[in-house]
Amino acid sequence: MTILEIDRAGRVFGSGEARVVALDDVSLCVERGEFVAIMGPSGSGKSTLLHLAGGLDRPTSGRVLLNGRDLAGMSAADLSLALRREIGFVFQGLNLLPTLSAAENVALPLELDGARPRAAMSAARSLLDSVGLGAVADRFPSRLSGGEQQRVAIARAVTGGRTLLLADEPTGALDTVSGEAVMGLLRRQCAAGCAVVLITHDMRHAAWADRVVFLRDGRVTGEAAPPAGPEFLLRPA
């Protein structure tokens, strides 16, 4: 099942002399359970692509479909409901509200969506348990390590059964081991049925994805999928 379909999308900013083509005829399909990483240098259009995917910006040409529906055809109210219920975001930092505990942060989107506080908190706790953060559920973000904060942010991004997780450099400020823990958690979200799009300039992290799409100057310049069997490295028998 296709969760996200970007169909020949373009995004142009400005006009005349100041005209900048941020994205040029980019297509991308992400299936349920699929983990796609987008790589490219600064200014290659990665963030623009993520903004289009998340309905934060509209393409100047082409279409963006979320679970089969064209975002451009939705009313403002439908769009905001779809974004809230179907898409979770994780950014490099400042993901959590500092005055709420980890569990309260995770419960917040559920409450905003009409769940009763008690039910939302219990769902949040079991979600944090499932990602190995049950022990820190009552801590405030300032008492969590950077890696823990990002894992809480990922848990929050998938609460309420959201199907698309968009992550923009979520490991930017983390050390190697914490970064790997975040990648492992993103992989597990895919296994649980989410579609994940990760933007990163870190090849080590992109390698966790099922597919890596390379962007340059607003265009797709290549794609890498892991070999089906051992190709590069054969473990000595």
Partner 1 sequence: MSVRHSLLVLLDAGPMHGYGLKTEFEAATGDVWPLNVGQVYTTLARLERDGLVSTETDADGQKIYAITDAGRGEVRRWFETPVAREVVPRQELAIKLVFAMRSAATDVADVLQRQRVATMRSLQEVTRLKADAEADGDLAWLLMLDALVFQAEAEARWLDLCEARLARKSGERQDRGTPLPRGGAAAPPLPITRRSS
Spatial separation of the C-alpha atoms in residues 124 and 108, rounded to whole Å: 9
Which residues 173-192 are close enough to bind partner 1 by CB under 8 A?
184, 187
By CB under 8 A, is residue 30 in contact with partner 1?
Answer: no
Residues 47-86, one symbol each (x = binds partner 1 by CB under 8 A, - = not), give xx--------------------------------------
Which residues 89-118 are close enough to bind partner 1 by CB under 8 A?
none
Our CB check for partner 1 shows the closer of 91 and 214 to be: 214
Q: What residues contact 62, with CB distance under 8 A and at least 6 apart?
A: 6, 7, 8, 9, 10, 25, 26, 27
CB 163 within 8 A of CB 31: no
Contact window for partner 1 (CB under 8 A) among 15-23, 70-78, 128-136, 154-162: 15-23
By CB under 8 A, is residue 45 in contact with partner 1?
Answer: yes
What is the nearest approach in angstroms of partner 1 to the Cβ of residue 15? Answer: 14
Ramachandran angles phi, psi of 192, nearest 5°: -85, 0
By CB under 8 A, is residue 225 in contact with partner 1?
Answer: yes
Among 1, 13, 119, 126, binds partner 1 (CB under 8 A): 13
Count of residues that bind partner 1 according to CB under 8 A: 39
Among 1, 41, 113, 117, binds partner 1 (CB under 8 A): 41
Question: Which residues would be at the binding site for partner 1 (CB under 8 A)?
Answer: 13, 20-22, 41-48, 184, 187, 202-204, 206-209, 212, 214, 217-218, 221-227, 230-233, 235-237
